[in-house]
């Protein structure tokens, strides 16, 4: 088990890295050339800036049982197909039960924006969201009260 972070625009990189270190779990940060992540003891993989370059690299690296942190529903769907465990920055786990509805909502929002409409952007991030994410990630790395290694 590893943690792979789709780090472009990810607000919880530092939290995920800390939790990975606390649980002695390998952590990979994937980003494009417009971002710089240097975390001691953590591997950062940088890819060319381009449409979905990081997403496709991550899908090629992910293995069954890996935890993937991403805000991208399309990437989450591909990771589910690889039997990984994708979660978002708020600690929501993407599953076979919710991914279709999320992809449909994304498609609908894109159609609205394409027709000149507006969609509501994300609210300001709160400490409660950070705690919820951290608790979910730690729970995924723990089985019956014991750290997974």
User: What is the CATH classification number for the domain harbouring 67?
Assistant: 3.40.50
pLDDT at 2: 96
Name, in order, each residue with C-beta under 8 angstroms of 69's C-beta and a sequence gap of 6 or more: 3, 4, 5, 6, 10, 12, 16, 86, 87, 88, 89, 137
Q: What is the pLDDT of residue 45?
A: 93
Residue partners of 105: CB distance under 8 A and separation at least 6: none
Q: Give the pLDDT confidence score for residue 86 in this predicted structure.
A: 97
Radius of gyration of the chain (CA): 16
The pLDDT score that the predictor gives to residue 9 is: 82
CA 72, distance to chain mean position in Å, is: 7
Residue 141 has a pLDDT of: 93
**Predicted local confidence at residue 113, as pLDDT:** 74
Number of domains forming the structure of the chain: 1
Containing domain of residue 122, as a range? Answer: 2-147
- The per-residue pLDDT for 50 is 74
Tell the burial category of 89 from Cβ atoms under 10 Å away from its Cβ (0-12, 13-18, 19+). buried
> How many whole angstroms from its chain centre is CA 19?
14
Query: Does this model's pTM top 0.85?
Result: no
Are the CB atoms for 80 and 94 separated by under 8 Å?
Answer: yes
pLDDT of the chain along its 149 residues, tens only? 999 999 988 999 999 999 999 999 999 999 988 777 888 889 999 998 877 889 999 999 999 999 999 999 999 999 999 999 999 999 999 998 888 777 777 667 777 777 887 777 677 889 999 999 999 999 999 864 556 55
């Amino acid at each position: 088990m590893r943690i792979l972070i789709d780090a472009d625009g990810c607000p919880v990189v530092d939290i995920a890295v800390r939790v990975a270190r606390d649980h002695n779990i390998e952590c990979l940060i994937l980003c494009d050339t417009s971002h710089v992540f240097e975390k001691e003891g953590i591997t950062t993989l940088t890819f060319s800036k381009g449409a979905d370059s990081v997403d496709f690299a991550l899908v090629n690296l992910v293995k069954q049982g890996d935890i993937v942190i991403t805000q991208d529903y399309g990437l989450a769907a591909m990771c589910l197909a690889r039997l990984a465990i994708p979660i978002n920055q708020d600690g929501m786990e993407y599953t076979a039960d919710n991914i279709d509805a999320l992809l449909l909502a994304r498609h609908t929002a894109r159609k609205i924006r394409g027709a000149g409409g507006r969609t509501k952007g994300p609210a300001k991030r709160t400490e409660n969201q950070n705690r919820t994410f951290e608790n979910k990630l730690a729970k995924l790395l723990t089985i019956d009260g014991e750290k997974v290694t």
